[in-house]
Structure 1
Amino acid sequence: MGKNKSEFHRKNRNDTVNRNTLKKRKEINAECEKLLRLSSHPSYLNNLWENYLEISSCLENIRKLESVRIDAVERFDATNDFLIWLKENGAKIDNISIHKFPDYDLGLKAEKDFEENDLLLEIPKQLIFSVYRAAPELKDIQNDVMIQHMPQVALAIALLIEKKREDSKWKPYLNILPKKYCTVLYMNVKDMMELKGSPSFEPALKQCRNIARQYSYFHKLFHNNESSVSKLLGDDFTYEDYRWAVSTVMTRQNIIPSEDGSQMIHSLIPMWDMCNHQEGRITTNFNEASNSCECHAMRDFKSGEQIFIYYGARTNTEFFVHSGFVHPGNQNDDFVLRLGVSKADALGNERAELLTKINLLPISDYSLKPDQGLISGPLLGFLRIFNMTKEELHHWLQSDAVHDITKVNCEIEKSLDEKAIKFLKTRIIILLTQYPKTQEDCDKLLHSTQDPCRKLVYQMKILERNILNRILLGFEKPTKV
C-alpha cells in the first residue's frame, strides 16, 4: 500500500512538472513569435529606439522563462588542459603563457625576449574551429538561407552544437573562452540610453535587432523540423547561449583558406585569438606549406610583456559594436556625422536635385577624421550646396562643370567656402554639448561605475568627444578648403 502511494505521489509530481514545462514552453514560443515580428518588419527601421525597447522587453521575458545553464569550469582554471590539448595536437606555442592582465582579462605573455618578425605561434589547421571541422550536424540544415549566406551565423550555431556535446574534442577550447562579453548584446536599456546622440547609437541598436531576429528565427526552425541540429539543441537553444555564441564569433573570428583552397572561410583560431589588440601591422598569415596559421611578432616584445597583435584598420565604433572594446590610440578612428537637407528648407528641392547630380543623397553620413587638413570630396560638396543661395543653386544646376563642386580648387565664391566651414564648426560645437566638458568630467564619468558595459559606453563617448575637439582645433590651421 505504501509503495503504491509513493508511486502515485511521484506520478503526480512528474505530471505537474510536465504541465509546468509545457506551459513555459508555450509562453517562450509566443514571445519568440512576437520577437520575430518585432525584429523583422521593415517599418520598425523608422523608429529604431522604440523598436529596441520592445525587443528588449520581449527578450527579458524570454530570458526569465528560459533555463540558463551555468558553466562549472572557470575560464582561468581551464588553462592547463587547454595548453596540453594544443601541444598534443601539434601547436607550437613555446615561450608563451596565458596570463591575467589589468583591464584586459586574459592575454598572452612573452616568457622570453622576442624580436620583431620572430615566429610567436603556429596553430595547425586541425585545431582551427570552422564548420568544416566541427559540428557535422550542420549538414542537415546546410540549405537554410541563413546558414548558406551568413557564415558567421553558421559558425555560431556550430559553437553551440559542440558546446552541447559532452564528448566534444573542442571542450578544452570551449572552456577557455570568455563566459560573457561586453558587446552591445550584453548592454541594457540604460546603457543604450547613454549612447543617444552618439554615431555608435544607431549601429548598436541595429546589431541588437539583427541578433534578436536571428535568435527568434532559429528558435522557430529548431522547433519545426526533425534535423539532427534540432534534436541536439531543441529546448536547450536559449537567447543567453545564442548571444554568447554570436559574441564569441564577432570578437574572435578570422579568415583562412577552405580545405580545398577554393575560398576563404570564417574560423576561430585557438590561442591566437587570446592576443589583444594594439596599433601596428598585420603579421598573421596562413602558411599553406605547413597547413597552419602563423603569427609573427609585429614588434620587439620583452620577457614578461603582454603580446599584442593588430586587428586591422577599424574605427572605434566598429570595435565597440562588434568586438566589445575601444582603443584610445586608434589611428583609424573617425566621427560619423549625419547631414541632411531639412524638409522645411525653402530651397530644399533645388539642393536635393543638385546633390543628386553629383551622386549624393539629401541625407547621408560623412566621416570626419582629426588632423585631416582639408574638407574635401563628398563632404565639401554637401556643405557647399547646403549653404548656396538660390542664384548659386540655379547656376550650378545648369553648369556642365557640376562635379567640380566636390573639388577643392573649384571656381566658386570664397564666401561660400567660409560659410561651409562656419556651418561645420557650429555643428561640431553643438555636438560637443552632449559630451563631458572637461577632462575632469571625463575622469569622474569613468570612475562613476564598475559595470564593464557601462564603462565601455563612457569610454566610447569620451573618445568621440576627443575626436570632435581635435577636429575643432584643426580649423585653426590656415588652410581648410
Structure 2
Amino acid sequence: MGRKGSGKKSKKSSALNNHNEINELMDKLLLISTLPQETDVSKLLENHKDMTVIIETIKKLQKKVVNEDKNRTSGRTCPAIIDRFTNWFKENGAELEGCDIREIENYGLGFITNTKIPESSLVISVPKKLMLTVDAAKKTPLKQLIEKDYLLGNMPNVTLAVFLLYEKYKSESFWKPYIDILPNTYNTVLYFTVDELLELKGSPTLEKALCKNKSIIRQFAYFYKLFNTSEDSVSQIMRKRFSFEDYCWAVSSVMTRQNKVPSEDGKDAINALIPLWDICNHMNGTITTDYNPDLKRCECLALKTYQPGEQFFIFYGARTNADLFLHNGFVYEENVHDGYWIKLGISKSDPLREQRKELLKKFSLEPTGSFFLRKGSDPVDDVLLRFINIFNMNQEQLKYWLESNESSVFQCLNINFEKKCWSFLQARLKLLLGTYKTTIEEDLKLLQDEQLSPNRKLAIRMRLTEKMILKNGIDYVDRMMQ
C-alpha cells in the first residue's frame, strides 16, 4: 500500500518538476526571442541555434506532460477522411463540379478532373459559414481573449492560428472534417532543422527564414505563458495540449492556406481558411477566385480548359519563389513572376551623397533600397537602371540632371558611362552569385541524391532558382556591354 502511494506521489512530483522546468525554459526562450533583431545573418543563425536547443528540450518535456490527441487521424489521404470531408462540405452547401479529390505524387492532395471543364466554368463554391475566419473566432469563447490580448487583437493571422488550434482541441468542432483533412506536417521553414536551413547559406532567403522562425518561437513562448496564467475557458482547454509542434502546425496551416474575404459588415477584408478551395494547387495563370457577396460564398472558375484526367490548378498570385518557399513551403521552377531582390545603397562616406539623394528623390527613389532583378529575357527594369545611373554619375552629370526636366536619367549619356553602369551591375551580380557555397552544376547534381531529406532538397531548389536568375542577369549585362 505504502509503495503504491509513494509511486503516485513520485509521479505527481515528477510532473510538477517537468512543468517547472518548462516554465523556466519558456522564460529563457522569451528572453532570447525578444532580443533586438540582428542585422548580421551569422548572429541571427547563432541566435536561432540557441533557441533550437531550448525548443528541443521543451519538446521532450512536453511529451511527458501534454495530453496526447487520442482522436488523431491516420492521415489526410485516408479514404474515410476524404469521404467524411466530402459529405461535410456537400451537406453544408459547398460544391465541387467535374473534379475528384485525389492524392497526387509530389503534391499531396489535389483535384483531378473527371470531365471536360471549359475555361471560366464555375468549379468550386464555398459558403462563408464553412470558412474559419476572424469573425467566426469572435463568436466563440475566444472573443474574450481577442479583446483582452494585444497580440490576438492586432495580428489576425495569429488569431486564426490560435482559433484553428482551439477548434482542433475541442471535444466537438463543426470544422473537424476539415481539420482532419489538413496535412499533419508541412514543408515550411518552421519544420527545417538547423542543417537544412544551412543549405540556404549565401541566399537572402536565409535571413528571412531565420526571422520568421524567431517570430514564431517568440509567439509560442508568449502564448504558452498566456494560457498557463489565464483562467478563461479557452486557456483551460489550450494549456492541456498546447505544444510547439502543434503551434508550428497551426501557423503553417494558416501561412499556406489563408486568404481574404469580406467581413460580416462588408467594411473590411478579413483572414480566412477556406475549406475545399485550399486543396487546389498552383500554376501560372490569372486569379480566377472571388467572393460573391450576393450568395455569400467564395467562387472559383477554371483558369483554362481542362480535359478529363488533368489536375485542376489555380493561380495563387504573382509571387516570387522566395515568397512561395517562405509562406507556402514549395518552389515553382516555371514561375514567370520569379525574381531576385538586390540591396543597393549610397554610401554615407560618398562625397556626392547629398546630390545623389536629391536626384533620387526626384525620381521617387530612396538612397538605400531593394531592386527587383526579373526572371526572363528582360531582367533589368527602369527603376534598377535609374538607380545604377545615379549611383555612378559624377558631379557634372548630377548637376545636369538635377537641373533637367527630362523624365529619364539614362538618355543622352555617353557610351563610356553606359559601360561603367553595366560594369557596376555585372560586378554586383557576380559578387552575389559568389556568396553561395555551391555552383549551379553542383546543385543540379545534389538534387539527384535520393537520400536527401525533402526539406534539404527544397532548400537546394530554392537557392538554385536564385542562382539561375543571377546567372541570367549576368548574361544579359554581358550582351548589353557588347
Q: TM-score, structure 1 length as denominator? A: 0.90
Measured after TM superposition, the shift of residue 463 of structure 1 is: 1.0
Q: How many residues align?
A: 466
CA contact (8 A) 2:282 2:316 kept: yes
State how far apart, in whole Å, the 2-side matches of 1:467 and 1:404 are. Answer: 35
State how far apart, in whole Å, the 2-side matches of 1:160 and 1:261 are. Answer: 26
For the pair 1:137 / 2:141, whether they are aligned, the reply is: yes
For the pair 1:456 / 2:458, whether they are aligned, the reply is: yes
The verdict on how the C-alpha distance between 1:385 and 1:478 changes in structure 2, with shifts beyond 3 A counting, is: closer
State how far apart, in whole Å, the 1-side matches of 2:187 and 2:335 are. Answer: 19
For the pair 1:268 / 2:273, whether they are aligned, the reply is: yes
Measured after TM superposition, the shift of residue 14 of structure 1 is: 2.1
The verdict on how the C-alpha distance between 1:370 and 1:125 changes in structure 2, with shifts beyond 3 A counting, is: closer
Measured after TM superposition, the shift of residue 233 of structure 1 is: 0.5
1:337-352 matched pairs, under 5 angstroms: 337-340=342-345, 348-352=349-353
State how far apart, in whole Å, the 2-side matches of 1:54 and 1:341 are. Answer: 35
Measured after TM superposition, the shift of residue 318 of structure 1 is: 0.5
For the pair 1:401 / 2:402, whether they are aligned, the reply is: yes
Aligned equivalent of 1:49, options 45, 52, 55: 45
1:457-476 matched pairs, under 5 angstroms: 457-476=459-478
Residue 66 of structure 1 aligns with which residue? 62
Aligned equivalent of 1:105, options 105, 108, 125: 108
Matched to 2:105, the amino acid is P
State how far apart, in whole Å, the 1-side matches of 2:469 and 2:403 are. Answer: 32
Tell me the SS of whatever aligns to 1:429: helix
Moved over 6 A (4+): 402-406
Matched to 2:306, the amino acid is F
Residue 316 of structure 2 aligns with which residue? 311
Structure 2: gaps (5+ residues): none
State how far apart, in whole Å, the 2-side matches of 1:416 and 1:479 are. Answer: 11
CA contact (8 A) 1:446 1:458 kept: no
Tell me the SS of whatever aligns to 1:285: strand
Residue 117 of structure 1 aligns with which residue? 120
CA contact (8 A) 2:379 2:476 kept: no
For the pair 1:233 / 2:235, whether they are aligned, the reply is: no
CA contact (8 A) 2:256 2:329 kept: yes
Tell me the SS of whatever aligns to 1:339: strand
Tell me the SS of whatever aligns to 1:108: strand
Matched to 2:140, the amino acid is P
State how far apart, in whole Å, the 2-side matches of 1:452 and 1:82 are. Answer: 28
Matched to 1:294, the amino acid is E
State how far apart, in whole Å, the 2-side matches of 1:192 and 1:80 are. Answer: 37
Matched to 1:49, the amino acid is L
Matched to 2:354, the amino acid is E
The verdict on how the C-alpha distance between 1:374 and 1:11 changes in structure 2, with shifts beyond 3 A counting, is: closer
1:388-467 matched pairs, under 5 angstroms: 388=393, 392-393=394-395, 395=396, 401=402, 407-433=408-434, 434=436, 436-439=438-441, 441-447=443-449, 449-467=451-469
Matched to 2:89, the amino acid is L
Aligned equivalent of 1:325, options 314, 325, 330: 330
The verdict on how the C-alpha distance between 1:234 and 1:201 changes in structure 2, with shifts beyond 3 A counting, is: same
CA contact (8 A) 2:76 2:183 kept: yes
CA contact (8 A) 1:381 1:406 kept: no
For the pair 1:92 / 2:86, whether they are aligned, the reply is: no
The verdict on how the C-alpha distance between 1:272 and 1:402 changes in structure 2, with shifts beyond 3 A counting, is: farther
CA contact (8 A) 1:255 1:264 kept: yes
Measured after TM superposition, the shift of residue 426 of structure 1 is: 2.3
Tell me the SS of whatever aligns to 1:295: strand
Tell me the SS of whatever aligns to 1:27: helix
State how far apart, in whole Å, the 2-side matches of 1:158 and 1:66 are. Answer: 21
1:225-304 matched pairs, under 5 angstroms: 225-304=230-309
State how far apart, in whole Å, the 2-side matches of 1:403 and 1:350 are. Answer: 22
Structure 1: gaps (5+ residues): none
Q: Percent identity?
A: 37
Measured after TM superposition, the shift of residue 294 of structure 1 is: 0.9
1:156-171 matched pairs, under 5 angstroms: 156-171=161-176
For the pair 1:18 / 2:38, whether they are aligned, the reply is: no
Matched to 1:129, the amino acid is L
Measured after TM superposition, the shift of residue 9 of structure 1 is: 3.3
Matched to 1:56, the amino acid is T
Q: TM-score, structure 2 length as denominator? A: 0.90
